[in-house]
A and B are shown apart, each in its own frame.
Chain A
Amino acid sequence: MSVGTAVIRKDARAKVTGKARYTDDQSMAGMLVARYVRSPVAHGLVREIDTSAALALPGVEAVFTYEHVPTTLFATAGHPYSLDPDHRDVADRLLLTGHVRYQGDEVAIVVARDELTAKRAAALVRVEYDELPVCTTPEAALAHGAPAIHEGGNILERTELTFGPPVAEAMEAADLQLDGHYNTPVVLHCHLENHTAFAYMDDNDHIVIVSSTQIPHICRRIVGQALDMEWSRIRVIKPHIGGGFGNKQDVVLEPMVAFLTLQLGGVPVRITLDREECLVATRTRHSQQVTVRAGLKRDGTITGIEMDITSNTGAYASHGHSIPMAAGSKFRHLYPRTAIRFTATTHYANIPAAGAMRAYGSPQLFFGLECLLDDAARSLGVDPVELRLHNVARAGEITTPDGGTRYAVAIARCLEQGRDAIGWQRKKKELQNQDGPVRRGLGVAAFSYGSGTYPACVEIAGCRLVLNQDGSVHMQIGATEIGQGSDTALAQMAARTLGIDYDRIHVVSQQDTDVTPFDTGAYASRQTYVAAPAVHEAAERLRQKILAACSGLTGTPARELELAEGRIIRAGEPAEEIMSLGELALSEYYHKERGGQLVAEVSAKTVTNAPSFGCTFVDLAVDIELCQVTIHKIINVHDAGRIIHPLSAAGQVHGGMAMAIGMALFEELLIDPAGGRICNGNLLDYKVPTCTDIPELDCAFVEEPDPTSPYGNKSLGEPPIISPAPAIRNGILDATGVAINELPMTPKLLFREFRKAGLLPG
């Protein structure tokens, strides 16, 4: 059985031997390179722009400024198109702008024959600005009389959601009401491959874009909109991609390379951002202020939760308008018997644009919620694990929208398993009454998430299976492999349903919107869940076609035939091979009168969205004098349904945990509030964790197959990042009694808080 085993990843060999070709590993004769001219000021209007010196430089082919680009505003967020005009993304971008909104905004672009010339030419474009007041924080951006960053003002979106009974009544029924205010920083994706794309025009005058994108089909549509071209005249090709984490779930370079090739008669033009550009001029994670109020009964029952979030989307909307809505809709599944009121305000500011990043607003939200619950547990004298066990979702409690099916829910078992793995009860006793300079603590936090975007967006996936002459099968899928292992997981599914070996499934890893079945791409932790029905159905259809063809050849009724390990056998008689798949395929392809190529293609929509759950347990030590946190043991336990590929699943968990540890302890993009200057926009000063910063990472799975997936699986790619940061914070609280309500919990912040608490001399 290929599902559930750690088969060799489809792309592993190509990647360890250097054969895997990424966007930048491809070139074309005569390819030009383009480089942006970026604003050094965080807010202003271009007064004058002079491109003559740049144009005079030998090797420069063209310079375009904001005066030369289409005036149609477009949205960049990588969401599916919506039939409802009110649900479409916010169109607030032009290819280049004369109104710069953050340090790094794009006013012009030079195109040259080589990179060095492009760099020199970009530096020769002389731009003068009329500076405008800079707002980097919510306080400044939302202040009365603040300068408008966009025409409609600085508020991008207000969000309001309620679940369950009225919160006011629920709060009144509580024995304890507690408030907390939590801040999260701007965090960067730091995928190892920077954004890169090139475009050229083919002999039909279509624009072909090769890009490091998570969302080829969405990208095609947005480029069509930005350039006011028919979508079918845009073709997007996605080769291997060096990580995305949501930053490539946005259309960043593609409309520009398409515009440039269109302007330059179809010659190939490439834009590859350098690391410093990629860190600040693509997208970031939203910095949020999270205010939570909870009502609890003495026994730990959470009666009501009120949450208000202020989300800083920076210079452009990107995904900003939808992130609080998405996170606000997903957290209720964790505590479904609690009344919830959720509000959010998302605003513009003169800082880099925030967009989608792994778990899409949930890490910020759960940092607030799970910290407050630990504060509440302390106030009530209730064990924090017990408090969660008392309130989390129970089996059978959450159903599909039509009420017809109960989703799998195993969060309580995750909490119990994590508690045992960390040795919670024993250590809790051992760690009482510590008073030395180094103190141990235990922390816990839980989360819930979705397995896609339905019903907010359409969920559609496509799969095409072709039987080859040699009995192997080519598999084309719209779902994009971005390193997470989706090609492998989907091939495992197809192999299982078809009844052939995993090694006999060849995945066409590269998406090409001219030929790849439609799928909206890698985001929302959706792919294995949403593509599974399409893969299952296509495999089932191909299997039936194969058996029918064999029946036609042999006269044996199809119901008496079976496909097992790539051979057609008599049902239930593995020893009795009727024929091999290769023999059947050759006959189907080449018999002069009968048969044909055996192909199955399915496009399937998913109208369910299985909640997935999990928790983090951490055992850590705090050196109070050095203000240093050392993690001794950290474990994530996930309820992600059936695990398709154990090794890749663990890999997703490790990666998310490490990213969360970075967010918890080290990472923050620093921006000077006075002028909007970015202080650490490089990999030396922005503290992305190295090998020495990350402790041993542990993970476990409680496998409760979900009935809404043909393979029982739920989301896993994004969720692991959600709960480690609050668990670490709760561990520090347990160790020291000091509640740190801000990230990252650096020595500098701990020093301030420990002094405030009297642990260190003032």
Chain B
Amino acid sequence: MQQLPITLRINGRAYSMDVDVRTSLLELLRGLGFTSVKEGCGVGECGACTVLVDGVAVDSCLYLAVWADKRAIRTVEGECADGRLSPVQEAYIEEGAVQCGFCTPGLVMTTTSFLEQRENTPLTREEIARGHAGNLCRCTGYQTIIRAVQRAADKQRRSGRR
């Protein structure tokens, strides 16, 4: 099958490789060891494979690896720098938003992108819910996830950092 050369950044590090044009970004990332990226449905229904492509949350199962050429990808592995959790990761733990954990990496990335696009704007429950409606979770009933998003927003506001 046809291979194409791509170069991309994953969590800040440069990668160059030839990829089979049929490969999804999900498969590419998992193959490189970024196994936080989970496949829950493979067809964009569940959001477990959410990663950020140039800051935008996408279902990596529906995104071809070749489209990632010259783009910057972020997965949850890269959100923890020098052993320090991101405010979103911290908030998920503190609010008890982690149970089985299979949806967690995707949700953390959705929240990360959601808050980066709404820095310092007050958030209603409804806005948060709409912003996370593409990520299914069967453990939490979304209650603690919404609280975690609120808490992460507060942390960001307080610290003034992303």
Interface residues of A (CB under 8 A from B): 6, 8-9, 11-22, 24-25, 116, 189-194, 240-243, 245, 274-275, 482-485, 647-648, 650-651, 654-659, 661, 682-684, 688, 690-692, 694, 696-697
Contact B141 A697 (CB under 8 A): yes
Contact A13 B93 (CB under 8 A): yes
List 9 A-B pairs, minimum CB-CB distance, nearest first: A18-B36, A483-B100, A658-B141, A242-B102, A15-B101, A647-B96, A654-B141, A683-B45, A25-B35
Which stretch from B62-70, B72-80, B115-123, B154-162 is at the chain A interface? B72-80
Nearest B-chain residue to A482, judged by Cβ? B100
CB neighbours of B41 from chain A (8 A): 274-275, 682-683
Is B55 an interface residue, CB under 8 A from the partner?
no
Query: Interface 1/0s, chain B 102-114, versus A by CB < 8 A?
Result: 1111001000000
Nearest chain A CB to B76 CB, angstrom units? 4
CB neighbours of A697 from chain B (8 A): 141, 143
Number of A-B contacts (CB under 8 A): 173
Beyond A9-B96, A16-B93, 12 additional contacts (C-beta under 8 Å) are: A6-B96, A9-B98, A12-B92, A17-B85, A116-B22, A191-B100, A243-B138, A275-B45, A483-B139, A647-B96, A650-B144, A688-B138
Give the one of A245, A483, A648, A661 with max B CB within 10 A. Answer: A483
Give the one of B75, B99, B104 with max A CB within 10 A. Answer: B99
Contact A275 B141 (CB under 8 A): no
**Would A15 and B144 be within 8 Å (CB), given that A485-B99, A691-B133, A696-B125 are in contact?**
no
Could you say which of B22, B99, B102, B134 contacts A22, with CB atoms under 8 Å apart?
B102
Contact A275 B38 (CB under 8 A): no
CB neighbours of A483 from chain B (8 A): 99-102, 139
Could you say which of A240, A275, A650, A659 contacts B138, with CB atoms under 8 Å apart?
A659
CB neighbours of A194 from chain B (8 A): 40
Contact B101 A654 (CB under 8 A): no
Nearest A-chain residue to B90, judged by Cβ? A16
Contact B99 A18 (CB under 8 A): no
Contact A17 B89 (CB under 8 A): yes
CB neighbours of A275 from chain B (8 A): 40-43, 45-46
Nearest chain B CB to A276 CB, angstrom units? 8
Contact B77 A651 (CB under 8 A): no
Contact A242 B132 (CB under 8 A): no
Contact B144 A654 (CB under 8 A): yes
Is B48 an interface residue, CB under 8 A from the partner?
yes
Which secondary structure dominates where chain B touches chain A?
Answer: loop
Nearest chain A CB to B27 CB, angstrom units? 9
CB neighbours of B95 from chain A (8 A): 647
Contact B98 A16 (CB under 8 A): yes
User: A55–B39 Cα gap in the complex (Å)?
Assistant: 29
A-B residue pairs in contact (CB < 8 Å), sample of 27: A9-B96, A13-B85, A15-B101, A16-B98, A17-B77, A22-B38, A116-B22, A190-B138, A191-B100, A193-B102, A240-B100, A240-B101, A242-B103, A243-B102, A274-B41, A275-B41, A275-B43, A275-B45, A483-B102, A647-B95, A650-B143, A654-B141, A654-B143, A688-B136, A691-B128, A691-B130, A696-B125
Nearest chain A CB to B50 CB, angstrom units? 12
Give the one of B36, B39, B85, B138 with max A CB within 10 A. Answer: B138
Contact A17 B36 (CB under 8 A): yes
Interface residues of B (CB under 8 A from A): 22, 34-43, 45-46, 48, 75-77, 79-80, 85, 89, 92-93, 95-96, 98-105, 108, 125-126, 128-130, 132-146
Could you say which of B37, B85, B102, B141 contacts A16, with CB atoms under 8 Å apart?
B85
Nearest chain B CB to A8 CB, angstrom units? 6
Could you say which of A242, A657, A658 contacts B101, with CB atoms under 8 Å apart?
A242
Contact A17 B79 (CB under 8 A): yes
User: A657–B141 Cα gap in the complex (Å)?
Assistant: 7
Nearest chain B CB to A373 CB, angstrom units? 26
Could you say which of B93, B136, B138 contacts A245, with CB atoms under 8 Å apart?
B138
Nearest chain A CB to B162 CB, angstrom units? 17
User: A12–B94 Cα gap in the complex (Å)?
Assistant: 9
User: A315–B103 Cα gap in the complex (Å)?
Assistant: 31
Contact B45 A682 (CB under 8 A): yes
CB neighbours of B135 from chain A (8 A): 691
CB neighbours of A692 from chain B (8 A): 126, 129-130, 133
Nearest B-chain residue to A648, judged by Cβ? B96
Nearest chain A CB to B143 CB, angstrom units? 4
Give the one of B34, B38, B140 with max A CB within 10 A. Answer: B140
Contact B99 A16 (CB under 8 A): no
Could you say which of A484, A648, A651, A683 contacts B46, with CB atoms under 8 Å apart?
A683
User: A281–B76 Cα gap in the complex (Å)?
Assistant: 32
Give the one of B79, B96, B125 with max A CB within 10 A. Answer: B96
**Would A20 and B101 be within 8 Å (CB), given that A13-B85, A648-B96, A683-B41 are in contact?**
yes
User: A193–B102 Cα gap in the complex (Å)?
Assistant: 6
Contact A691 B144 (CB under 8 A): no
Give the one of B80, B101, B146 with max A CB within 10 A. Answer: B101
Contact B76 A17 (CB under 8 A): yes
Nearest chain B CB to A725 CB, angstrom units? 14
Contact A691 B138 (CB under 8 A): no
Could you say which of A655, A682, A690 contacts B99, with CB atoms under 8 Å apart?
A655
CB neighbours of B98 from chain A (8 A): 9, 11-12, 15-16
Contact B142 A658 (CB under 8 A): yes
User: A25–B105 Cα gap in the complex (Å)?
Assistant: 14
Give the one of B95, B139, B141 with max A CB within 10 A. Answer: B141
CB neighbours of A243 from chain B (8 A): 99-100, 102, 138-139
Contact B125 A18 (CB under 8 A): no
Nearest A-chain residue to B92, judged by Cβ? A16
Nearest A-chain residue to B142, judged by Cβ? A691
Give the one of B40, B76, B80 with max A CB within 10 A. Answer: B40
Could you say which of A12, A24, A241, A482 contacts B93, with CB atoms under 8 Å apart?
A12
Contact B138 A9 (CB under 8 A): no
CB neighbours of A25 from chain B (8 A): 35
Could you say which of B130, B134, B136 contacts A190, with CB atoms under 8 Å apart?
B136
User: A275–B41 Cα gap in the complex (Å)?
Assistant: 5
CB neighbours of B125 from chain A (8 A): 696
CB neighbours of B137 from chain A (8 A): 192, 691
User: A190–B136 Cα gap in the complex (Å)?
Assistant: 9
Nearest chain A CB to B157 CB, angstrom units? 21
User: A175–B101 Cα gap in the complex (Å)?
Assistant: 53
Nearest B-chain residue to A279, judged by Cβ? B41
Nearest A-chain residue to B36, judged by Cβ? A18
**Would A16 and B96 be within 8 Å (CB), given that A654-B140, A684-B45 are in contact?**
no
Nearest chain A CB to B54 CB, angstrom units? 20
Nearest chain A CB to B141 CB, angstrom units? 3
CB neighbours of A691 from chain B (8 A): 128-130, 132-133, 135, 137, 142, 145-146
Contact A21 B35 (CB under 8 A): yes
Could you say which of A17, A18, A192, A656 contacts B100, with CB atoms under 8 Å apart?
A192
